[in-house]
Structure 1
Amino acid sequence: MKKDLDTIFKELEGSFDVHETPSGHQSRFLEKLSTSQEDTKKGISWWKSLSIAATIALLFAVGYSQLRPNAQKADLASVSSEMKQTQSFFTGTIAEELKTLKSFEAPETKKLVDDAMQQIAILEQEYETLKVDLVESGNDKRVIYAMITNFKNRIDLLQQVIQTIETITNFKSNENEITI
């Protein structure tokens, strides 16, 4: 490889430009450099303001689509009278279970109750999405089934938490008893 480079340099020996640069070259170069930087700064500020405006427009579009007040929603009651009864049963059961859960609220179970309430809130948000899906799908049976499953999941969650709290309180009361 070294021999190849040596031979290449020997072949090109007289063809390199070794002349001095013309006078004033440096000043012309610096002048062109400063004007190109100014043009670039103007272009950047224009693009910067355009990108900010585009970002704001995008945020408004996303916000409007998420919070649109005209979004059609329908719950199980709008499907049929049987589904209205089903929804009534589930909402009544959930309300009773929530009442029972809140009656157990004590310092030692507060974290468990708070966590359960967060999980219920997540399931309620999913149900709101399912309401929109029900309208968009034209009362598709899969969406109806998902709505019923959502109700069941909320009831199951509440019952499990209540059972856990009852176990904890029973354990604590038994712990304080004297065994013979």
Structure 2
Amino acid sequence: MSQDLREVFKKEREDTNPGLKPGHKKRFQERLEKQFPQQRHSWILPLKIAASIIIALGIGSYFLTKNSVEMTPPSRTVNQNTTVEGNNTISLGDLTPGLKKMEQYYVTNINYELSKIEISSENKTMVDGFMQQLGILNAEYVKLNTELNSVGPNDKTITALIKNLQLRLQLLQDLKKKLNYLKTVPHETLKTSSM
């Protein structure tokens, strides 16, 4: 009875679990392959998935941009080449390359500021007032351009044209500041009243 229990269990396992016959593993693999053949990895399924994702994104972006285009207010741009009747008209930019760069700078910034204006029911009257002032300045610019064509280039007209562009840009920047102020004021009054 002085046998080691480990040895007893080891012998018992060997007796109950006889070894596998030679070639058993190979035969088992062959049977598995017959019943469950390996499927070739096809690139068609991933391509179908990628194509459906691309189509879904395309359709989604189409509808998003369609809705955003419908929601944007009509664009307002400043015409750089405001001309007077006649074939031989000149503008501020036609005089010198420096003046052309300056005119392009102001017109580009004016158009940019116009494109960033968000019109809502709360600020519509303010925006309309500023747009009327901008229209007056634009009409004055046309008159100055007419004077430039009829009288010819002189310092007074050139300075007035540049000042007009500066005033229009400043007017739009002031409008932007007031609109930003109006956006923050209701939020601040709500925060202070809730405390």
Do these two structures clear the TM 0.5 threshold for a shared fold by scoring above it?
A: yes
Post-superposition shift, 1:72?
5.5
The answer to whether the aligner puts 1:76 opposite 2:110 as a matched pair is no
The answer to whether the aligner puts 1:147 opposite 2:157 as a matched pair is no
Aligned length: 111
CA distance in 1, matches of 2:167, 2:89: 21
User: What are the within-5 Å matches in structure 2 for residues 3-18 of structure 1?
Assistant: none
The ranges of structure 1 where at least 4 consecutive aligned residues each deviate by more than 4 angstroms after the TM superposition are: none
CA distance in 2, matches of 1:106, 1:87: 31
* Equivalent pair of 1:93/1:155 in contact (CA under 8 Å): yes
Unaligned runs of 5+ in 2: 1-83
- From the superposition, tell whether residues 95 and 147 of structure 1 become closer, same or farther in structure 2 (CA, over 3 Å): same
RMSD over aligned Cα atoms: 1.7
* Equivalent pair of 1:94/1:155 in contact (CA under 8 Å): yes
Residue 108 of structure 2 aligns with an amino acid whose one-letter code is: G
Residue 112 of structure 1 aligns with an amino acid whose one-letter code is: M
Instruction: Give the alignment partner of residue 136 of structure 2, picking from 122, 139, 163.
Output: 122
Higher relative contact order (CA 8 A, sep 6+): 1
User: What are the within-5 Å matches in structure 2 for residues 1-180 of structure 1?
Assistant: 69-70=85-86, 73-101=89-117, 104-178=118-192, 180=195
| Identical-residue share of aligned pairs (%) | 24
Deviations 1:44-93 (A, max 9, x none): xxxxxxxxxxxxxxxxxxxxxxxx83385421111111111001000001
Residue 133 of structure 2 aligns with an amino acid whose one-letter code is: Q
CA distance in 1, matches of 2:186, 2:90: 46
Bigger Rg over Cα? 2
Specify the SS of the correspondent of 1:177.
helix
Specify the SS of the correspondent of 1:176.
helix
Unaligned runs of 5+ in 1: 1-67
